[in-house]
Amino acid sequence: MAAISPAQVAQPAARTEVPPGYQEGWWSWITTVDAKRIGILYGVSAFIFFIIAGIEAEIMRVQLFQPGMKVVSADLFNQLFTMHGTAMVFLVIMPMGAAFFNFIVPLMIGARDVAFPRLNAWSYWVFLAGGLLLHMSFIFGGAPNVGWFGYANLTEKQFSAGHGVDFWLFGLQLLGFASLAAAFNFMITIINMRAPGMKMMRMPPFAWMTLFTTFLMILAFPVLTVALFELMFDRFVGTNFFETAAGSQPLLWVHLFWIFGHPEVYILILPAMGVISEIVTTFSHKPLFGYPVVVFSGMAIAFFGFGVWAHHMFSVGMGPIADAVFAIFTMIIAIPTGVKVFNWIATLWGGNVDFKSPLYFALGFISMFILGGLTGIMHAEPTPDLQQHGTYFVVAHFHYVLYGGSIFGLFAGFHYWFPKITGRMLNERLAKLTFWVMLIGFNITFMPMHWTGLLGMPRRVYTYSPNLGVTELNEMSTIGSFILAASILIFIYNFFVSLRHGEIAGDDPWDGSSLEWATSSPPPVYNFAVIPPVYSREAFWALKYPRDGHGNPSPVRQTWKPAPEEIPISIHMPRPSIWPPVVALGLFCVLSGFIASPVLTACGLVIMFTGIAAWAMEPAGGPPSYPPHPSRPGAAQDLPTPSAVPARK
Amino acid sequence: MLTVWIAVAIGVLIEGALIVTIVRFRRRRGEPVGAPVGRHGSTPIEILWTAIPALVLVFLGILVVPLIFETAAAAPPNAVKVRVIGHQWWWEFRYMQGNKVLFTTANELHLPNGRAADFSITSADVIHSFWIPTMFGKRDAIPNHSNDIWFTPKNPDPNATVSYPGQCAEFCGPAHSLMYLNAIVEPEAAYDAWVRHQESKAAPVVASALVRRGEQVVTQGSCAGCHTIDGTAAAGQVGPNLTHIGSRANLSGPQLAANTPANLARWIHNSSDFKPGSHMPPQNLSKSDLAAAVAYLESLK
């Protein structure tokens, strides 16, 4: 009998067709409404902005290496620190958080998607438009040069005649709209779309911190929106909100900005704190100690965060009563923050601590954030703050909490969830090297700044006097910044090498406690073929370590897989749509037209309203996806299912 | 300083606890892992580590709040009163007696050693911040708003004259980094002499042709449009008062440039050379006119 070639054997009809819209290709990314893809878009964009803002910082550090250097002009330096601050806050830390909200939170709460998928996509495209508009300023007459906080009345037309401030203003408005839409989306997703059994107090801490962040965004951004509208009317229409010649008070801007600005910094830190809670739990192999307290501390931080804004204004002359009240509230916030740190340490205590790279970054967060928090307490006292305010001491403080805190936290999250997102493991040795070089570089850069500031060097200066005695400290900071930059290069290398050649991760490389690990890596487009049952906190541990009749958990990890009879034949996910990016484009044109030409604004309005109408009228429901099922031909193998990232075997 | 020590102590404690924890409970190679169980929490511990930091902060608060009120209290009645007006990018000082302006000067401040100095601070354009680091904290200079700060300078040696450089501490535009000032704290007698001298009008012109020519150039030329020299026709209100500029040690501050004829000439010719973005336009004077102007201004002791 002749050998039968494989080609002659009738192959079962493979359900390999990828439904339209989920095809690979750039169009599928533009029209995606899949939260996982939107998360990847946010993450990649944020990382690119991180590189740009980092280069801006490097140029500044070179300029400040020694007194009197002429690497950049005063005006260009002012543009650099304005763009560095604005970008890092709005285009790096916030969207990185959004990347994780999008990819991970629906998985964690056992949902298939977010509440409003097209609005979700719209948030991303408007964010991208805002980031592009801000950076376009470099080619159209110069970037904004008024600081990321743009104090009035420096921002009035009289003192800032060019378009830089206009790009800043409209860019931030776009970013505000994007953030608000995303916040509503996630709040409703978390409240309404949790899996059966996923009570609020069973949710993973990262989901809770995301929820509090959305509350902060919804209540804080409108204040900035109002302030920006007032500035816009002053600059374009001639109103007098901040026009001192007409008798107005520039302090109005300062208050409005910080009423937004202080909750904003909690928006920047709470997601990172959520990540740390997840990582500390998983890598201690032990439940989070004091879960209700950690959750309520997050709530307390968010709540009290609205009562402390004027601690940015102790030198403004508000009077001793206001100064004292804000000092007291600022000190109060230190308590829930400290309590979280104690609970993390208590989680590690008595655990079985596995030193993998995500934990390295998490420990980096905890140790650096403590230092930043302590200098924060020093700032909370108005009397010493009159020396510290406006100097490099503040720069040191906020870089410890925002880089040592948020950025280390985001890197921790990235190293933790990279396997889930891509299906591959990052190279552990390179990851640990990234961590050490980053930790060392970060500290060499920012630790000296505490002394630089206390010796009298103000911030936002492009040069300084040699008489100040801060030259060696500045040299140290500059050298440190290059070491920090090197760590980013190691990270980028690790990312690309691991994407191509990393070890296959499998569903659950870390023995994770939450539901995102209960599906494949990367997850199918519908997240779970069967939504896992939720019996407790640390929902996936409960499934992998089931309890016997006496309540003892299995000492050995079990594999959990859904029962075949529960797998649905098909799952419908939302249809991809071009209208979110179209409406975003329209909005971009509307606002850019204020700077460029009214014709552009008019076109923008047409595009926007056409897009909104089409969005409202397009049919709901997308084409079906078919989870692998024993009854269907080819069920024995893993059928290719549409997924967020093309699986590479 | 106490806040610093408390912060250091807390930092050492918490970082120490973190390090001890991760070393003691690290996973040992080959050890079986087991189920992920452990204490979920402990209400007494939570109460304890909420209460202890709260008490530390209450303690700090009790120390700090009275200090806030103390620094905001009114200045002693015999304090020197100076109205500080921030401009892009220089400091105007008006020494006051009640509501009367005794005299106006710029960038260089003289104060008597051991007597309180009471500053009433505002701005003529954008938000600045008045700061002499080695002397005291800062207070913002805000247009349409008046801020107060006072302190008592005390030189270690009561007979010495000590210079305390300062600079603007709130971003105010391109030359923010160079908005310097200098406070000279001297014995009471020297300070009184300085005050009397500042109150006098501009020094009469000496019988030098160059200086006379310079007086003409300055008081009848474009300079007079922005600058005031008391006792002459120059009464401009835009730029610094130059009545006694010859007696100032520095242009702007010791951090920028000494007040020498060469520097002054360079400044007049193109102030942006020193302060990028300076609002003083370059003065297109002929070489001889420039030399005359410099000679005249330096004579205004």
Q: Which three-class secondary structure state does DSSP give residue A391?
A: strand
- Per CB-CB distance under 8 Å, the chain B contacts of A462 are 177
pLDDT of residue A635: 44
- Is the pLDDT at A17 greater than 80? The verdict is no
Summarised one tens digit per residue, pLDDT across range A307-347 is 999 999 999 999 999 999 999 999 999 999 999 999 999 99
Q: Up-side HSE of residue B208: CA atoms within 13 Å toward CB?
A: 14
Residue A542 forms part of a structural domain: yes
Distances (CA, A) of A207 to A110, A272, A297, A530, B189: 11, 11, 14, 21, 70
Are the CB atoms for A207 and A105 separated by under 8 Å? yes
pLDDT at residue A584, as a whole number: 98
Mean pLDDT within A429-438 = 98
A290 in the same domain as A238:
yes
ipTM: 0.94
Pairing of strands B147-151, A571-572: unpaired
Tokens 């402990």 locate to B42
Identify whether residues A522 and A584 lie together within a single domain. no
Query: Around Cβ A645, how many Cβ atoms within 10 Å?
Result: 17
What is the residue range of A532's domain?
A: 41-548
Domain boundary among A486, A515, A548: A548
Residue from B264, B255, B99 nearest B167 by CA: B255
Packing angle of the helix pair A408-422, A471-501 (nearest 10 deg): 10
Suggest the residue from A76, A316, A408 to mutate for an interface test with chain B (most B CBs closer than 10 A). Answer: A316
Which residue from A345, A383, A553 is facing B17, i.e. has the nearest CB?
A345
User: What would the pLDDT profile of A547-570 be if each residue is shown by its tens digit?
Assistant: 988 888 998 999 998 888 888 888
Q: Is residue A263 scored above 90 in pLDDT?
A: yes
**C-alpha span between B256 and A68 (Å, rounded):** 10
What is the pLDDT, as a whole number, of residue A22? 54
Asked if B177's CB is within 8 angstroms of A383's CB, the reply is: no
pLDDT digits (tens, 9 = 90+) for A82-108: 999 999 999 999 999 999 999 999 999
Compute CA distances A318 → A235, A608, B127, B164, whole Å.
27, 44, 15, 27
Residues A503 and A354 grouped into a single domain: yes
Inter-chain residue contact A154 with B126, CB threshold 8 Å: yes
pLDDT of residue A549: 87
Same domain, A505 and A582: no
User: Is the distance from CB of A185 to CB of A119 less than 8 angstroms?
Assistant: yes
pTM of the model as a whole: 0.93
pLDDT per position in chain B (301 positions), as tens? Answer: 788 888 899 999 999 999 999 999 999 888 888 889 998 999 999 999 999 999 999 999 999 999 999 888 899 999 999 999 999 999 999 999 999 999 999 999 999 999 999 999 999 999 999 999 999 999 999 999 999 999 999 999 999 999 999 999 999 999 999 999 999 999 999 999 999 999 998 877 777 889 999 999 999 999 999 999 999 999 999 999 999 999 999 999 999 999 999 999 999 999 999 999 999 999 999 999 999 999 999 999 8
Contact A84, A52 (CB under 8 A): no
Residue of B nearest to A553 (CA): B35
Structure tokens at B31: 């050890």
**Structural domain count, chain A:** 2
CATH number for the domain formed by residue range(s) B209-299: 2.60.40.420
Q: How far apart are CA A337 and CA A273, in angstroms?
A: 10
pLDDT band at A1 (very low <50, low <70, confident <90, very high): very low
The residue among A133 and A4 whose pLDDT is bigger is A133
- DSSP code string of chain B: -HHHHHHHHHHHHHHHHHHHHHHHTBPPTT------------HHHHHHHHHHHHHHHHHHHHHHHHHHHHHTSPPPTT-EEEEEEEETTEEEEEEEETTEEEEEEESEEEEETTS-EEEEEEESSS-EEE--TTT---EEE-TT--EEEEE----SSTT--EEEEEE--S--SGGGGG-EEEEEEE-HHHHHHHHHHHHS-PPPPPS-HHHHHHHHHHHHSTHHHH-B-TTSS-B-SSS---TTGGG-SEES-TTTEE--HHHHHHHHH-GGGTSTT-SSPPP---HHHHHHHHHHHHH--
Residues A599 and A504 reside in one and the same domain: no
> Which of A486, A514, A548 delimits the end of a domain?
A548
Query: Do A500 and A405 have their domain in common?
Result: yes
Nearest to A335 among B38, B50, B138 (CB): B50
Q: What is the mean pLDDT of chain A?
A: 92
Q: Can you tell me the distance from the alpha carbon of A384 to that of A379, in angstroms, rounded to the nearest whole number?
A: 7
User: With an 8 Å Cβ cutoff, is A75 touching chain B?
Assistant: yes
DSSP β-bridge partners for residue B228: B235
CA distances from A505 to A36, A427, A429, A545 (A): 18, 11, 16, 21
Specify if A561 maps to a domain: no
Nearest to A331 among B27, B60, B172 (CB): B60
CB contacts < 8 A, A to B, total 253
Q: From chain A, pick out residues whose CB is under 8 angstroms from the CB of B53.
A: 334-335, 338-339
| Range 438-457 of A in CB contact (< 8 A) with B | 455-456
A599 with A530, same domain: the answer is no
A346 in a structural domain: yes
Q: Where are the domains of chain B?
A: 80-199, 209-299
Classify burial at A8, counting beta carbons within 10 Å of its beta carbon; exposed 0-12, middle 13-18, buried 19 or more. Answer: exposed
Using CB atoms, which residue from B64, B138, B143 is nearest to A244? B143
> Do both A335 and A437 map to the same domain?
yes
**Side-chain half-sphere exposure of B179, counting CA atoms within 13 A:** 32
B134 contacts chain A (CB < 8 A): yes
Mean pLDDT, rounded, for A197-226: 97
Decide if A634 is inside a domain: no
Q: Are the C-beta atoms of A573 and A643 separated by less than 8 Å?
A: no
B:147-176 residues touching chain A, CB 8 A cutoff: 147-148, 165, 167-176
Share above pLDDT 90 across residues of chain A, in percent, rounded to a whole number: 87
What pLDDT was estimated at residue A25? 85
Question: What CATH number corresponds to the domain at position A302?
Answer: 1.20.210.10
Tell me, what's the pLDDT at A563?
86
Residue A32 lies in a domain: no
Whether A27 is covered by a domain: the verdict is: no
| Lowest mean pLDDT across A17-21, A55-59, A253-257, A438-442 | A17-21
pLDDT at A636: 37
Do residues A481 and A617 share a domain? no
CA distance A477 to A445: 4
Percentage of chain B beyond pLDDT 70 is 100
Q: What is the mean predicted confidence (pLDDT) over A287-292?
A: 97
How many Å lie between the alpha carbon of A540 and the closest alpha carbon of chain B?
11
Residue B124, chain A, CB below 8 Å: the answer is no
Homologous superfamily of B80-199 in CATH? Answer: Cupredoxins -  blue copper proteins (2.60.40.420)
Residues A482 and A611 in one domain: no
pLDDT band at A632 (very low <50, low <70, confident <90, very high): low
Residues 183-242 of chain B with CB under 8 A from chain A are none
pLDDT in tens, A147-178: 999 999 999 999 999 999 999 999 999 999 99
The reply to whether domains B80-199 and B209-299 share a CATH topology is yes
pLDDT of residue B71: 85
pLDDT digits (tens, 9 = 90+) for A464-495: 999 999 999 999 999 999 999 999 999 999 99
Taking contacts as CB-CB distances below 8 angstroms, the residues of chain B near A323 are 68, 72
- The answer to whether residue A3 sits within a structural domain is no
Asked if residue A22 belongs to a domain, the reply is no
Task: Quickly count: other Cβ atoms within 10 Å of residue A321's Cβ.
Answer: 12
Q: State pLDDT tens for residues A491-543.
A: 999 999 999 999 999 999 999 999 999 999 899 999 999 999 999 999 999 99
The secondary element (H helix, E strand) that includes residue A572 is strand A571-572
CB-CB neighbors (< 8 A) of B15 in chain A? 367, 370
SS3 for A284-327, per residue? HCCCCCCHHHHHHHHHHHHHHHHHCHHHHCCCCCCCHHHHHHHH
d(CA A418, CA A113): 19
d(CA A393, CA A379): 9
Q: Name the closest residue on chain A to residue B275, using Cα atoms.
A: A74
Provide the pLDDT for residue A641. Answer: 45
pLDDT band at A50 (very low <50, low <70, confident <90, very high): very high
CATH number at residue A618: 1.10.287.70
User: Is A458's Cβ below 8 Å from some Cβ in B?
Assistant: yes
Residues of A in contact with B50 (CB under 8 A): 335, 339
Q: Output Rg (C-alpha) for chain B, integer angstroms.
A: 28
* B36 contact residues in A (CB cutoff 8 A): 285-287, 511, 513, 538, 541, 545, 553
What is the rounded distance in angstroms from the CA atom of residue B295 to the CA atom of residue A267?
60
Same domain, residue pair A611 and A480? no
Q: How confident is the model at residue A12 (pLDDT cuts 50, 70, 90)?
A: very low
